[in-house]
Structure 1
Amino acid sequence: MAVTNLNWLVVFILSSCVSQHGVQGSTLSVSVYSVTTKSIIVRWSRHDGASSYKVTATPKNTAGPSTFAHFSENTVMGSLNGLTPFTLYTVKVEAMDADRNVLNQGQMESNTAPDIPTIDVATSKQSDSITVEFETVSGAATYVLQAETADRTFFTERSVSSSPDTIQDLQPYTEYSVSVLAVNSLGGQSQPSKPVLVRTVLPAPQFNTSSSSNDTIQLDVEPLEHAVLYSFIVILQRSDRQQRLNTTSTSSTLTDLEPGSTYCTTAYAWDAEGRPGDRATVCQITRPAQPQGFLLSVVWDEQASLLVSWNASQEATEHVAVTSSGLSCSSSSSTCSISLLSCGETFFVTLTASNQAGPSLSSEPVEFISIPCSPNPVWLSEPEPGNCSVTWDAVATADFYDTFVKRDDGVEQKCNSTETSCNYSCLCGYTYIVSVFAYNQAGSSPPGPALNYTTLPCCPADVSISLVSTETLEIMWSPVRGAVLYETRAVDQSELIVCNDTSPVCALSDLSCNSRYNVVVIPCSELSGCNRNCQPQTHETAPCMPAIQNVSQTDGTGVTVTWTSDNGAANYTASLIGETDTFSCQSTGMSCEVTELSCGSTYDVTVVATTSAGASLPSYVVPLETVPCCPVNLTVDQVTQAMTNVSWSAARGAQTFVTSLTSPRGHARCHTQDTHCLMGCITCGTSYNVSVEVLSRTGRKAECSYQGFSSSVCCPSGVRLYSMPNNTLRVFWRLSGSLSNYTVDVQGSSGNYTCSPPPGGNYCDLTDVTCGSVYTVVVVPVNMDGSTVSFCPHRLYSGTVYKMA
């Protein structure tokens, strides 16, 4: 019994250590060369002295007979046939002597290959592939699809994992013998299935497209061998419109198409068996529509060009404009220009649109009359001083003329006429440049000759006499073109003063205030001499300086200024000049009043006398200070239930502030230099009057009142939590005395809760509350604007939760 167990242990160890590809015993090794569905080919090592070998295959996990075979002494490979598909066998090889005694042995395990699969259907949908659908078999890890041509010049196979699958890289319209075999996980292959003959479908036809007009597309197919019918599917790009065409012809025309539109055509061929082949798609655009309604105009860029304009469209990539004289231009936008345009011509223009398909039909020719030639010669004359005339010869193709007269200071005149002459005003002291242009519907002629004409200097028209000081008059005027010298003459009742200078300014000093002079400026030219027809001006010297007698303030923003003066008839201006603003008042007497002065400002008060001649020196300055300004913005923020923070904007002229909150229930007051103040003793739920008293550095005071302030509603007291059925907490509190809205916030370790009672209510319920938690509870009033009070006390509840009676 011990020996039997030992032998079994040795066999078990040998069986466990041997793979499908080989078993190495002490002296004899066994391996599987290959397997099929019903056979195993075994290979073994030679044993010295053996006269034969016996190979036995026994099913391991199923009941069944063993199969054996004998081989000669020189044989090291043999086949066992008639086995069961997809079955695990124990294969034993025994080396025997002549008496059939076992000299040595070895064994291994191996599966036979799966059963032979069966092809259900094999079809070709593409010209380079065949799809095979087959029945799967037990034990197969993968399958091998095989395809072979009838003449056996081509063979291919492909490993697949399931059914169906496809054999690719085949030739179009070629018959193949297709089979399938199963492979187990160890690589064992079944015999191929019964072959099925399948022919691949036709390849996609090769075809060309073209468009010879804006509504047709020509289809030309290269003849395809074995094709009996061609099918075309035509789809308008970016639409769902399509048409179908079946034909045996290799040339077809699509009609009634849209101009400049892209059509994509899909073509495929049918074989004699009624099978459609591969598809090919070609997109073709039709030619553009015939251009309509283009515009012609002339543009200038150093020379005249004909600008052709049309409405841009997506159907055309380029337009070409051609004139009857052979000139042309092209553009991919909506305009192009033809340069070297000659004046006085008449010609015709056509427009052609094109795209990838070719050109459209040319438009109807449009007649165009070119711009007229410029008038030449041109004559300029001055029949009388100040009036000039321009004349010229008539120009063919001109409808009217424009005469442009430009003065050397930039002032322009224009004269429009259908005649051949034009009159314009020519003033003295200027140089004029005169040009004449002819016009028709095409536009303006090229620039013609320009004439220059210069008149004599004019009398200064803007002579100004101003007071420099109480004893000096300054006379100024604008320069007159062409004048090289100015003579200034001033005459009063007793003397004549003359000033000659090349500059347009003259100063007359050592004069008396409040005196009258006649002053004239005479321009002189080297060519024409002096113009002594200029008219003199009568001008007075400045009035004498007034003296301020008193500045009295009538109210917070008004002041009355009084003064004395030795002048006769004069206008007086009292000016109050501050750092940021200035006020003034006028009077012909000895006083005037200024109102609406800026608060918090300091002004310098002065008085100036004026006459038609100018202004006097200002009087000596008298200082003035107005009351300080009230702060523009004031804000009252409640910090706690009994304390507020009042803040306001800075006020001009303010030194200190006295802020007051007043109500029938008490008041608060603070005096500070700051723009804020913290005030206590505030009663909740109370309306206060707000005022600020602003004091300046000199003690001037402004009383300022603001919109009233209402303190927040008092925080409720007596807050209690009551336990209710169904995990509900009810929060109670005592009302503060006024009808208010409240909101309740409860925060706990298990969650946060919020509730609000109806207006005037003093409790609300919280549902789905976790028992046994610690809660922080706050009940706050809701203000009229919807905000809540932020300073009501928070209460912590851990075990003090009351039961409802």
Structure 2
Amino acid sequence: MEGSDSRVKLNTTDTSVTFSGLEAGTTYCIKGNAWDPEKRQGDDFTVCQITRPCIPVLTELEVRMVGSEAGLSVSWAPSQGAGEYLAFSSEGLNCTSTTGACTLAPVGCGQRHTVTVTAINEGGPSIPSAPEEFITFPCPPEPLRVEETKAGNCSVLWDAIPYTDTYVAFIKRDDGQEERCNTSSTSCNYHCQCGYTYLMTVFAFSLAGSSPPGPVLNYTTLPCCPEDVFISLASPGTLEIMWSAVRGAEVYETRAVEGSEVILCNDTAPVCALSDLTCNSPYSVVVIPCNEIRGCNHTCRSHTKETAPCMPEILNVTQINTTSVNVSFSTPNRAGTTYKVSVVAQDNRNTCTSRGTSCEILDLPCGKVYEVSAIATTTVGDSFPSYSVPLETAPCCPATFNVEQVTQAMTNVTWSMARGTHTYMTSLTSPKGTARCHTLDTHCLMGCITCGTNYTVSMEAISRTGHMSECTYHGFSSSACCPSGVKLYRMANNTLRVYWRSTGGLHNYTAKMVGSQSNYTCTPPPGGNTCEVPEIMCGDVYNVVVAPLTQDGAMVQFCPQRMYSVSCSGSNVGMVIYRGKRSLD
């Protein structure tokens, strides 16, 4: 043995010899001599040979990065006499080294390596070391997937990774907020709010270390539902919906549903108007937020809004009397709807309300033109007004009416203007006949009047469209007839008697004599037909008239006058001479 005094001496006749019990990794020098049969020593030779190294002892296995690759660093205790070492893995990797370590590379995730080390020198390889088993770092968990069991509760899941002790999931929200979850299972729960994008990755851990970074899962939650949805009635057939913009929404779909009718509105703005809706109908309105990544959130709460009532139709306007009408209308809405009827003129408005099919409007002024319309009213609002129907109230009757007899057979009738009246039809009616006058004016002359007759006075006030009001007034009595056969007779004592033929009846008459120097009157008892005028001044011409008296005692002015000349005979009345009739002044 080199460097030792130890000697082993063997004699043999063979051509080979085996030395056992030698120390491993030690250089031995073998000197040989040949001997002849006569025991004579021949030439010698010397050969030095090292024995194989000792069996290496593995001390450490660990994963290390070699550049951008992972390698398995193998360490062992030095073996005596070893020139180099060979590390070998059951995965087919090997490495050599003259020192006490080398790295098997590249190694992958989740590999089970059985590693041995063999020491080598000129004498050959040692017996391999006792095998050591080593499991590399786990593979990254994949595939990743997300389950959102209900809004706000999410789970990230993955398949089990071999040779893994624990997992760490990193969940980062797009606003920077991050969550971390440590687990030994294959899922992690986290709170996922609407309208966010979450980036998730999961690392697997074992004693060998962490897995490489795995895939990053990008998960976007549904956009948030608007909570402050405000629905108003923009017009009877239009709903305006407004809300605050919500996180995650790129476009909003507003949907209004009533029965089989569906109205849609898509817009990027948080406001929408849905028009041409069915009146008096409850619509279920929902605002659905959408984005390109996740689509639409169909879990948003719906809101019910009723449209305005339907427009009624005026069916009939019936005049009850000159100042009242009954208005009937259609009722196209649900029971309980209130209908308001308006009768509108230029300067006034009258209304009535009803939950039925008609209502009455009272105390309408006469002689006016109105427009009649109706609206339906609910707690939601008012309908469109119905189409208007014209209404004309009966023309007014003249407030004042006067009949004045201007001749025995003719009267002058006058009256005040009446609102809404275009023409007037005046009638004086008695059992003996009727006198009529139709005029645009506020007066007319009516002939064919019979004297001494009581007349009923009436008027028809007629509008331009033919509406008519029946007006009645106090009756009119024509004066008694003017007497005929008026004569003047001379009596004694300067007295004249006036005589006339009576028309019958107990009428009051007055005889009047008007001269140039004196006037005389006489009045007989009712029904009388003579009266006497005493102390007549002779020598004068007298206009004599006998006329009936009116009810207030006035003498009618239209009876004819007769002219008489009264002469003197001495100081007394002489001849009375009739000189004819004269016209009225």
Larger radius of gyration: 2
Question: Which structure carries more relative contact order (alpha carbon 8 Å, separation 6+)?
Answer: 2
* TM-score, with length taken from structure 1: 0.32
* TM-score, with length taken from structure 2: 0.43
